[in-house]
Amino acid sequence: MSQVPLFWVFLNDSVKKLPRQLRQQRYKSPLHVAPAGSAVLHLITSCPTTVWVHQPWTLRFRLTSNDVSGLQEKLLSIATPGSRDFRQWLSQDEIKTFMAPSSDTLNTFNSFTSTHDLNTSVISPHGDWVAVTLPVWQANTLFGATYANYTHPEFHQ
């Protein structure tokens, strides 16, 4: 049977390279999901070490948008009868001015990725989502995390 890994992140407080904001946290695995071992160990045992070291793994990061509140105000104005903007459309360029990350955000993120020699690519039209490719062991080190595989005992996935 094939095993489909579900990567789970457990952050620890020992690494404080960048300011973080906790959005969601779980203290235990979801019901009927059991740990299947470390993602690093799984990769080491399932393929040769030389291949594993260079195995790419992609994480996606959402960079803070420049002016979400401004976009909300504009959309409310467009949707409000009697407003001078009522029933007007926003162009892609107008949306991008609200959604694109600020230059400070981009500079901070790009500085971090270049310092750690990470490959990045923009994966959204407004530049607010970025993909970073790196091996699991490097993600563990950089983010003070332990990525692990989890399986559902009934389905072995």
Among residues of the chain, what percentage have pLDDT more than 70? 58
Does the pLDDT at position 15 exceed 60? no
Which pTM value belongs to this model? 0.59
Q: Report the C-alpha gap between 28 and 116 in whole angstroms.
A: 31
pLDDT digits (tens, 9 = 90+) for 38-54: 554 444 444 444 444 45
Q: Measure the CA–CA gap between 52 and 37, rounded to whole angstroms.
A: 16
User: Mind listing the pLDDT tens digit for each residue in 88-129?
Assistant: 888 889 989 999 999 999 999 999 999 999 989 999 998 999
Q: What percent of the chain has pLDDT over 90?
A: 26
The answer on pLDDT for 75 being more than 70 is yes
Predicted pLDDT of residue 4:
32
